[in-house]
Chains A and B, each alone.
Chain A
Amino acid sequence: DVKVTQSSRYLVKRTGEKVFLECVQDMDHENMFWYRQDPGLGLRLIYFSYDVKMKEKGDIPEGYSVSREKKERFSLILESASTNQTSMYLCASRPGGAYYGYTFGSGTRLTVV
């Protein structure tokens, strides 16, 4: 079974901490994405990457950064966590090309206290 694996299902962090969310895919997909999901707002794109060492800002990049050192791994970094970053974070990947669907991980529910 093809998979996108997120390192943690649940995380609780303190305000001001640096937080790393890890995502690994085993499908050799070129494209990887980070979304956050909040009730009533749907999925909002934070950052995405079309290739190793490449990154593009999505719709809500403020307060986040990303790293893609290897094709299979895409990390989301919260430089200084704040309570308004409490959310469900979803990683996804897909092959290159316009019409392929996303494969999502199971999500990380992050609570910042």
Chain B
Amino acid sequence: TQLLEQSPQFLSIQEGENLTVYCNSSSVFSSLQWYRQEPGEGPVLLVTVVTGGEVKKLKRLTFQFGDARKDSSLHITAAQPGDTGLYLCAGAQGNNDMRFGAGTRLTVKP
């Protein structure tokens, strides 16, 4: 059983559509991070959220940390083919290091 459950596991959409992916847990996290991984590369950090209810925006990407700090969502507006990749969430409990979810594999078709 994963500490962090990500959904959906796979998502295939057309360019221009909006989408939301989710990262859920029964545990409370002191911080949560989102990464994007492209084929043949390591994950690259997108954002860190640390406060319950926090919302951060990165161009067309909006990240939200749940009020109880147990879950998070990533919303992409007007998806583009360049958004294609594996989106991973990772959570830290206290000073312990990050544990990762299994990821959402996003494909954006032109």
Q: Is the interface of B mostly helix, strand, loop or mixed?
A: loop
How long is the Cα–Cα vector from A102 to B35 in the complex, in angstroms? 9
Within 8 A of B (CB), among A10-59: 31, 33, 35, 40-45, 48, 59
Let me know if A66 is at the binding interface, CB within 8 A.
no
Chain B, residues 13-34, CB within 8 Å of chain A (1/0): the string is: 0000000000000000011010
How many residue pairs link A and B with beta carbons under 8 A? The number is 55
A98 closest partner in B (C-beta) = B95
State A52–B41 Cα separation when bound (angstroms): 27
Tell me the smallest distance from the CB of A33 to a CB of chain B, in Å: 7
Question: In the complex, A104→B42 CA distance in Å?
Answer: 5
Residues of A within 8 A of B (CB): 4, 31, 33, 35, 40-45, 48, 59, 90, 92, 98-107
Contacts A45-B99, A106-B42 known; 11 new A-B pairs at CB < 8 A: A40-B9, A59-B99, A90-B43, A101-B45, A101-B48, A102-B33, A103-B45, A104-B44, A107-B40, A107-B41, A107-B42
State the 5 A-B residue pairs at the shortest beta-carbon distance, nearest first. A104-B42, A101-B45, A42-B102, A43-B100, A42-B100
Give 29 CB contacts A-B under 8 Å: A33-B97, A40-B102, A41-B102, A42-B4, A42-B102, A42-B103, A43-B90, A43-B100, A45-B99, A48-B97, A59-B99, A90-B42, A90-B43, A98-B30, A98-B31, A98-B92, A99-B31, A99-B50, A100-B48, A101-B35, A101-B45, A102-B45, A102-B98, A106-B40, A106-B41, A106-B42, A107-B40, A107-B41, A107-B42
